[in-house]
Amino acid sequence: MLEVFRQFALDLKASGINLTILYDAFDFERFVSGLMTTCALIVICTLFSILIGGAGAAVLALSRGPAAMLVRAYVALIRNTPLLVQMYFFYFAVGSLMPVGQNAIGLPVPMIGNFTWAVIALSLYAGAFNIETFRSGLGAVHNSYEEAALALGYSRFKAFRYVVVPLGLRFSFASLANNLVDLTKSTTVAYAIGVAELLYVSNQIWSDSLNTFEMMNVMLAIYLLLTGIVVWIIGRVQAAMSLPGFGAN
């Protein structure tokens, strides 16, 4: 089976399309590890960004004090500055203040690596967009639901937790899917701080094998596939959580 692929790739090469990742074991391994890194970035940052979004939206919904101001300032700052500069700021500027460990042969190794910084920067970035999404989702729940819950003897927090949040979450899915597609696309920015994700390894491969055009198209196809998968998963979650008779979205 593998041999068939290999032969097919070599035939393609003979006809001018040089896909080294299909017949060269080294390039194949690099490519797969890059793809895995990209997937890991997407999954980890999705989890953290949803946590940040949920926490931020809860603060905005429940408090009017300095905590809410802080969340609003964070959202405004992150949304109106470039992700790449944020990432450099974390990796180069804040990273220079972090403690430095040593590896087995005594060379200095930063305690927080570039992958971790990429996760931090991307999670904070996508988190800010998710706060807005969840905030407007909660805002879309009509006041009467909360009033009914309060009349039934729920405390304000419990009405929020058990009535408003479950409904607001369901209003948020369309916009959340958008944010997560953006996050998937933004993982390429981690390239700039040397995280060996898909774009980074593709760049290495086309530098070594001089097949820029082929690799770029492969990369584009894979990113379209990844965003498609993200949209599909959100759609499945939305379908699984849908309430009969509630929300036409």
Partner 1 sequence: MSETTILTDIFRWLPFVLWGFALNILMSILAIMLGTAAGVFLGFGQISHVRLIGRISRLATQLFRNAPWLVLLFYCIFLMPYSFTVSGVTYNVPSWLRATLGFSVPVAANFSEIVRGAIGSIPKGQWEAAEVLGYTRTVTLFRIILPQCVTRMLPPWMNLYALLITATPLASIVGVDEALARTQAAVQSEVQPGFLIPMYLTLLTMFFLYAYPISRVSAALERRFQTV
Query: Considering beta carbons, is residue 154 or 223 the nearer one to partner 1?
Result: 223
Residue 17 lies near partner 1 (rule: CB under 8 A):
no
Angstrom distance (rounded) from CA 83 to CA 78: 8
> Contact, 16 vs 97, CB < 8 A?
no
Query: Considering beta carbons, is residue 19 or 159 the nearer one to partner 1?
Result: 19
Query: Considering beta carbons, is residue 25 or 85 the nearer one to partner 1?
Result: 85
Instruction: Retrieve residue 68's tokens.
Output: 């809410």
Q: How far is the CB of 202 from partner 1 (least distance, A)?
A: 9
Q: How far is the CB of 81 from partner 1 (least distance, A)?
A: 5
Query: Considering beta carbons, is residue 97 or 105 the nearer one to partner 1?
Result: 97
> Site for partner 1 (CB under 8 A): which residue of 25, 224, 229, 241?
224
Binding window for partner 1 (CB under 8 A); candidates: 45-53, 61-69, 85-93, 168-176: 85-93
Residue 96 lies near partner 1 (rule: CB under 8 A):
yes
180 phi and psi, to 5 degrees? -75, -30
Residues 6+ apart with CB under 8 A from 179: 49, 126, 129, 130, 133
Residue 203 burial class via C-beta count within 10 angstroms: exposed 0-12, middle 13-18, buried 19 and up: middle
Residue 181 lies near partner 1 (rule: CB under 8 A):
yes
> Contact, 46 vs 126, CB < 8 A?
yes
Angstrom distance (rounded) from CA 40 to CA 42: 5
Handedness of CA 156, 161, 167, 169 (dihedral sign): positive
> Site for partner 1 (CB under 8 A): which residue of 41, 71, 126, 189?
189
Q: How far is the CB of 144 from partner 1 (least distance, A)?
A: 18
Residue numbers of the site for partner 1 (CB under 8 A)?
76-77, 79-86, 88-89, 92-94, 96-97, 181, 184-189, 191-192, 199, 203, 212-213, 216, 219-220, 223-224, 227-228
